[in-house]
Structure 1
């Protein structure tokens, strides 16, 4: 059987974020029929260890990398030349030794940093993510930008919101808490900042927040990149 996948996705980290990614691929693709949509392949690995836990536990790191390596090879076997992962922290665990020759990893973090440098030079950037993301400094060193993180108490509020989403809690209380946290963070700044939702769980609320704050969602940046790849 001929396989004609434009790209592959390694999902399940977390499941709701992966579903949101697929919804955006569907919604952002210009299509008048089923056949105008994109052929892609999804490998879902929700049972992979928590990424923040894996940062501090070598045994969990090994298990997570086994999951990732198998998923990458599964996508390669069905003919995917490109792949992406809608989880920021997991990028830390993917190294070149896992990626087969002639297969390309679409790095969401690098793509977003390039986008910020191009479209928001000189801006103050606030990184909204997990403690693991903060510890790794994944969005540090954005060329031409000044990168900041929330103060400790507000950082904990962001983490609590992320893990509420992982529990499937998507109600108005969580949305209001996110809104209040962004407002409190912004009030600490001399200039109006640009927020990066550096955890894809936060993408579930990003469209609502874009009407009130300057917010860049790496998931959106990734989706547009994947749609461009599908046209090659």
Structure 2
């Protein structure tokens, strides 16, 4: 297969399925051959990213299997890698150092989209896993881009973890009321001009329940759009 990209997925599988669904849905097609060429690595047994970031002394590192995937897939020569797991970007620099093939950086894509979609935004909130909040990947980049970063309250963070782990990961179910309540608190109580959906399980909630007119940037959606842009551009080369 020529002119393809590799998706480093399975973190979690439902979130990866959401990425694939959006990828296929947004790709302009009229026949089978218009769809994109890609390899999906659904590595479901990669250890939990948040568990390791929060307590590395008692949990297995996800870096080892992710590094193996990058090395293996690099031998096949994809044009780029997509990594549809925000928390896994904790290992981004280490993974990119293993290959000359570019790995798309989902958090950076999401932050870059703010200026395009919400040009008046000043206060940028984030809902994500405990691991993503702890590793500050979004926080540092949001501030570097000139925005005021808004951390969710402990209550919102706990509700978000319930949505991610108890609902989507454990049951493949989205509590739409909980998702909308989280967004409402971020916008109305914490006065966010825009909220970044910084976990692909939250992107599952967004796909199934919608954001009820609250201002959001879906990081996974931005990754999908960039994947399509690069893949279609490569076809023309």
Query: What is the TM-score of this pair, normalised by structure 2?
Result: 0.88
Match of 2:104 among 98, 103, 106: 106
**1:65 counterpart residue number:** 63
The offset of 1:158, in angstroms, is: 0.7
Post-superposition offset of 1:6: 2.3
2:45 pairs, out of 25, 44, 47, with: 47
CA distance in 1, matches of 2:131, 2:125: 16
In structure 1, list runs of 5 or more residues that go unmatched. none
CA distance in structure 1 between the aligned counterparts of 2:201 and 2:12, rounded to whole angstroms = 7
Residues 206 and 215, structure 1, Cα contact 8 Å, conserved in 2: no
Deviation per residue, 1:171-206 (Å, 9 max, x gap): 5xx11111122223322134x521111000011121
In the alignment, which residue of structure 1 is the partner of 2:15?
17
In the TM superposition, residue 60 of structure 1 has moved relative to its aligned partner by: 3.9
Q: Distance in 2 between matches of 1:102 and 1:157?
A: 39
Give the length in aligned residue pairs: 226
Q: CA deviation at 1:12?
A: 0.5
**How far does residue 59 in structure 1 lie from its aligned partner after superposition?**
6.7
SS of the residue aligned with 2:19? helix
Pair 1:170 & 2:169 matched? no
Alignment-derived partner of residue 128 in structure 1:
127
Match of residue 32, structure 1, among 10, 30, 54: 30
Say if 1:67 and 1:202 are closer, same or farther in 2 by CA, change over 3 A.
same
**Are the counterparts in 1 of residues 96 and 102 from structure 2 also a CA contact under 8 Å?**
no
List alignment gaps of at least 5 residues for structure 2. Answer: none
Moved more, 38-47 or 118-127: 118-127
Distance 2:148 2:18 in 1: 29
Contact 1:109 1:139 in 2 (8 A): yes
**Does structure 1 retain, via aligned residues, the 8 Å contact 2:96–2:103?**
no
Distance 1:15 1:44 in 2: 7
TM superposition shift of 1:214: 0.5
* Equivalent-residue separation in structure 1 for 2:88 and 2:17 (angstroms): 17
In 2, Cα distance between the equivalents of 1:78 and 1:211? 42
